[in-house]
Amino acid sequence: MGQIMTTVSAATSREILDGEELLARCMGNWDFALRVLGKFRARLEADVADLDQALGVQDWDLLARLAHRIKGASASVSALQLRQRAAELEHAARARRVAELSTCVERLRHESNRLVQELSVLELDACEAR
């Protein structure tokens, strides 16, 4: 497990995913942490797709709700940057700062892609470590 932890820290910048904090929140259970990350990733990809739709139909409440959920889930897996991007989007959507919204969604998507890529590397490493 320590070995995997080292891999996480090396491969992933702490701002993208704080593996140590995540592991602590998973009570040191790395298998469980990986399962949670899998769930998180699937949810994230679906929610990001929904963001575009909400933006398209100008449903700002839905946009805020989706951003809020992404924020919560990111916080739970210690994806700090993504959490920040989601918080910004949620805030802008609630305040109806409509002009900023597509930029916010774009920035969130960018961070989401970066994270998903890191997660793929991580999953690969975890498989090899077995």
Partner 1 sequence: MNPASKLMRVLVVDDDEVTAAVLEHSLIEFGYDVTVAHNGREAFQLIRSGEIRMVVSDWCMPEMSGLELCRRIRERSGGAYVYIIMLTSNSRTQDVVEGLNAGADDYITKPFQPEELQVRLRVGERVLSLESRDLTIFALAKLAESRDPDTGAHLERIREYCRIMAQELVRTGETGEDLDGDFVHMMYLTSPLHDIGKVGIPDQILLKPGALTDDETEIMRRHTVIGGETLDALVAAHPEARFLLLARDIAWTHHERYDGSGYPRGLAGRAIPLCGRIAALADVYDALTSKRVYKDAMSHEAAREVICEGRGSHFDPRVVDAFLRRDQDFHRLQRALADPPTPVAALS
- The answer to whether the beta carbons of residues 102 and 89 sit under 8 Å apart is no
Q: H/E element holding 97?
A: none
Binding segment for partner 1 (CB under 8 A), chosen from 3-11, 52-60, 67-75, 118-126, is 67-75
What DSSP assignment string belongs to 2-60? HHHHHHHHHHS-TTT--HHHHHHHTTT-HHHHHHHHHHHHHHHHHHHHHHHHHHHTT-H
Give the nearer residue to partner 1 in terms of CB position, either 5 or 62: 62
Radius of gyration of the chain (CA): 15
Residue 69, both tokens: 């959920």
Give the nearer residue to partner 1 in terms of CB position, either 4 or 33: 33
CB of 28 to partner 1, least distance (A): 9
Q: By rule CB under 8 A, what string of x and - marks binding of each residue 4-33 to partner 1?
A: --------------------xxxx-x--x-
Binds partner 1 by CB under 8 A, chosen from 76, 114, 123, 125: 76
Binding residues for partner 1 (CB under 8 A): 24-27, 29, 32, 35-36, 39-40, 43, 65, 68-69, 71-73, 75-78
